[in-house]
Structure 1
Amino acid sequence: MYTGLQHLHSYLAYLVLLGLLVSILTAIGGWMQNRPFADKDRKRALLGLIPTHLQWIIGLILYFISPLGAANASGAAMKDANSRLYILEHPLTMIIAVVLITIGYSRAKRLKLGKARFQSIFVFYGIGLILILSRLPWRAWFAVS
């Protein structure tokens, strides 16, 4: 089960990145063209939101069953950069990113003007994407077996 969840978490990350990019590019286009926020724009924003939430849930489960997660938390592990990434930095940064993306979507639903709705998605999803990219375990992604 652990290995399956670990692979799912790794491959779902590509879908998260793709969904966020589609959402951000749609928001930039709508914002710059000053067009009304349509139902298709809401659905494209969901392409960034839904995979991100699914990824967070899988990551949360992994955090508690993985030997790299909560089970590894100790003072000695905090001195090792790789252990600290898995125990603290990656999970905390991802929680902040998910919260920001959720705020961006929720805020866009409440706003009335199309330009403001696109701007909300662009800013919050963009910051969330930057945070996600800053704390991905790149070494694990590009490890040579």
Structure 2
Amino acid sequence: MYTGIQHLHSYMTYLVLLGVLVSFASALAGMFGNRVFTAGDRKRGLLGLIPAHLQGVIGVILYFVSPLGASNFSGEAMGDSTARLYLLEHPLTMVIALVLLTVGYSRAKRTAGTGKGFKSIAVFYGIALLLILLRIPWGAWPGNEA
């Protein structure tokens, strides 16, 4: 079960990155094109939000069933960079990214009919995308294990 959840979490990352990237690019295009934020633009924002939240739920489950997650919590784990990544850095950074995505989408949703929704999504999704890319354990993806 653990291996299946781990692989699902790893491969789902591609969908999250694609969704956030599409939403971010669409917001930039709308912002620089001086368009009005419409219901269709709001739905494009969901392309990044929904997979990211689903990934977050899978990540929380994985955090509690993985030997590298909550069961590894100790003072010694903070001294080991790999253990610290899985125990603290990756989960905390991803929670912050999820909060940014949620805030950006919520702010944009309230500004329908103006151009401000694009700016909200562009700024918040852009920062979240950067955080996600910085804290993905690239070497641990299936096929990249050392």
TM-score bracket for this pair, using the shorter chain length: over 0.9
Contact 2:9 2:55 (8 Å CA) reproduced: yes
Map 1:48-67 onto structure 2 (within 5 A): 48-67=48-67
Deviation at 1:26, TM superposition (A): 0.3
Deviation at 1:112, TM superposition (A): 4.4
Map 1:36-51 onto structure 2 (within 5 A): 36-51=36-51
Report the AA paired with residue 84 of structure 2.
R
Moved more, 46-55 or 106-115: 106-115
TM-score, with length taken from structure 1? 0.95
Matched, 1:114 2:114: yes
Deviation track 1:81-139 (CA, whole Å, cap 9, x = no partner) reads: 01000000000000000000000000001124532100000000000011111111011
SS in 2 for 1:8: helix
Report the AA paired with residue 143 of structure 1.
N
Contact 1:34 1:114 (8 Å CA) reproduced: no
CA RMSD in angstroms comes to: 1.2
Please give the alpha-carbon distance, in whole angstroms, between the structure 1 residues aligned to 2:51 and 2:76: 34
TM-score, with length taken from structure 2? 0.95
Report the AA paired with residue 128 of structure 2.
G
Provide structure 2 residue ranges, at least 5 long, that are not aligned to the other structure: none
Partner of 2:14: 14
Moved more, 40-49 or 105-114: 105-114
Partner of 1:99: 99
Moved more, 125-134 or 38-47: 38-47
Please give the alpha-carbon distance, in whole angstroms, between the structure 2 residues aligned to 1:22 and 1:112: 19
What percent of counterpart residues are identical? 64
Please give the alpha-carbon distance, in whole angstroms, between the structure 2 residues aligned to 1:37 and 1:103: 16
Please give the alpha-carbon distance, in whole angstroms, between the structure 2 residues aligned to 1:40 and 1:109: 11
Contact 2:108 2:116 (8 Å CA) reproduced: yes
Contact 1:24 1:121 (8 Å CA) reproduced: yes
Report the AA paired with residue 120 of structure 2.
S
Contact 1:5 1:62 (8 Å CA) reproduced: yes
SS in 2 for 1:35: coil
Number of residue-to-residue matches in the alignment: 145
